[in-house]
Amino acid sequence: MKIALIGATGFVGSHILEELISRKHYITAVVRNSGKVTIKSEFLTLAEADVFDAKALVEALTGNELVISAYNPGWTNPNIYHDFLKGSQAIQAAVKLAGIHRYLVIGGAGSLEIAGKQLVDGPDFPAAIKPGAMAARDYLQILRTEKELEWTFFSPAIEMHQGITTGRTGKYRLGKDHPVFDENGRCVLSVEDLAVAIADEAENHQFPYQRFTAAY
């Protein structure tokens, strides 16, 4: 499959890139600085484009069958809420202009629900990541009105960060709008297995026009 990956040098995006290349998909990694991509492969093409440069972005995306967006303007960015929404909508528009039908977005866990309440609205939600989580939540609502693109939105496990050292097991359980908890009451997934879940969705096409999540 020919896939464009936006945000290929980030924590999540770099692992998705590695997983997709290992499966021999042809990847266009859309990045601002191609020098940050350390992988060399016959299956990899690098395209430098900023998400706010519409012409360059459309050119980079054109010819692919699927766009995966792991776009994140940075958790420490004081304008993350505004920048995530603006950037994500710019990507969405570019996907359409490039004539691509499938669009898979890596979002946040904050919009997952427990007892009818989204996690981001809970009193214990970490303040440091709340603006970014709210942006991802609000972008999911925007996507749910999208009729032209076949979109899919992925919410990571509640505990999906660099401190999870499980590595790649290739195993996970799926959910939709609610967290997937293990027998210990935890919702955990390594970034390597997140990449497996995303690559599996790219190949298996299980969740068109839906949000899904994955955890052990």
For 100, the 3-state DSSP assignment is coil
Residue 55 has a pLDDT of: 98
Q: Check residue 3 and give its pLDDT.
A: 99
Domain with 183, as residue range(s), is 2-215
How large is the greatest C-alpha to C-alpha distance in the chain, in angstroms? 49
Residue 28 CA to residue 125 CA, distance in Å, equals 35
Backbone angles phi, psi at 27, to 5 degrees: -115, 130
Q: What is the pTM of this model?
A: 0.97
Residue 31 is predicted with a pLDDT of 95
State which residues of the chain have pLDDT below 70.
none
Q: Which of 14, 100, 95, 13 is closest to 51 using CA atoms?
A: 95
Is the Cα torsion angle 127, 179, 177, 144 positive or negative in sign?
Answer: positive
Assigned token pair, 83: 């920048």
Q: What CATH number has the domain bearing residue 19?
A: 3.40.50.720
Supply the pLDDT for residue 75.
Answer: 87
pLDDT tens readout for residues 36-93? 999 999 999 999 999 999 999 999 999 999 999 999 999 889 999 999 999 999 999 9
- The domain tally of the chain equals 1
Which residues on adjacent β-strands are paired with residue 152? 104, 210
Helices (H), 46-169: 54-61, 80-97, 130-143
